[in-house]
Amino acid sequence: MTQALPLYGDQWSADIYDHEVQSLGDLPFWQSLAESAGGPALELACGTGRLLLPLARAGLTVTGLDASRFMLAVARRKLAQEDHQVRARCRLVEGNMSGFTFEENFGLIYIPARSFQILLSRDEQRSCLDRCAQHLRPDGQLALTVFNPRLDFLISPEGHHDGPNEFVGPDGMSVVHEAHSQYDRASQALAADWWYVVRDEQGAVTRRDYRLELHYFFRFEMEWMLEACGFEIEALYGDFERNEFAADSPEMIFVGRKAP
């Protein structure tokens, strides 16, 4: 086995992101929040601009912040293909979602694709929410989604295996993705090993290994934390069709405002 790299921390994992994650079915949800926000939107952990670019194309003014220069390089490459009006509405910034500063305030700050779970420590989580509160207009909204923890998945002693998932990557290469994850109940962290087996057009096969750790939040932990950081929760949805949160919902999508 090769040395595992942090996921999104090299150009290869950034370049295949859009090939593997084509749609999470979440664009209409984030777009409707951004449209009703009445002000610019900020996406934290915007990655390759999967959501940010369609929002800018729809006429919205958006800023995307991400810690990975590799993911941002993909987003910049895509943005360069857009017309000048879209380019003028979309700003990409390298930075940490737990420690950012902008001159302006936003009508909507959103954290899609469960990226908030990448923040493992309480300090990072609180600091991110504090930064959001600092950067929202008085009537602005914060929205973020995390996995609804599946207990059967989390308590399995041998961990959880995903895949194989096969897709076509850049330059027509065939990619097979598998993952093994193990949850630690004491830290509420899931450590996931991801590996990709790649066959290029000449038939040469290589393997690439990555590591990702996610904190698993429970419903009332999120509610307490959001309230402690000065937010009033307006809605908790269980999916992007805005169904009410239930025990078997796939997501926990929180929408809130700064408490008066």
Ligand X SMILES: C[S@@+](CC[C@H](N)C(=O)[O-])C[C@H]1O[C@@H](n2cnc3c(N)ncnc32)[C@H](O)[C@@H]1O
The token pair at 119 is 């923040």
Indicate whether 68 belongs to the interface with ligand X (CB under 6 A).
Answer: yes
Closer CB to ligand X, 96 or 182, in the complex: 96
Indicate whether 74 belongs to the interface with ligand X (CB under 6 A).
Answer: no
Answer whether the bond into residue 164 is a cis peptide, omega within 30°. yes
The token pair at 247 is 């025990």
CB neighbours of 165 closer than 8 A, spacing ≥ 6?
20, 176, 177, 178
Among 16, 37, 56, 71, binds ligand X (CB under 6 A): 71
CA 44 to CA 165: how far, in whole Å? 27
Indicate whether 8 belongs to the interface with ligand X (CB under 6 A).
Answer: yes
The token pair at 230 is 């000065």
CB atoms within 10 A of CB 147: 16
Closer CB to ligand X, 81 or 202, in the complex: 81
Q: Which stretch binds ligand X (CB under 6 A): 92-100, 160-168, 230-238, 239-247?
A: 92-100
Residue span 95-134 as binding mask against ligand X, x where in contact by CB under 6 A, dash where not: -xxx-------------xx-x--x----------------
The token pair at 145 is 């989604």
Closer CB to ligand X, 215 or 257, in the complex: 215
* Residue 178: closest CA among 189, 160, 166, 194: 194
Closest separation in Å from C-beta 37 to ligand X: 17
Among 16, 46, 222, 229, binds ligand X (CB under 6 A): 46
Site for ligand X in 127-186 (CB under 6 A): none
Give the count of residues interacting with ligand X (CB under 6 A): 18
Q: Which residue is nearest to ligand X (CB)?
A: 47
CA 161 to CA 183: how far, in whole Å? 12
Among 34, 45, 74, 173, binds ligand X (CB under 6 A): 45
CA 143 to CA 234: how far, in whole Å? 10
The DSSP 8-state label assigned to residue 22 in this structure reads: -
Where does this chain bind ligand X (CB under 6 A)?
8, 21, 45-47, 50-51, 66-68, 71, 96-98, 112-113, 115, 118
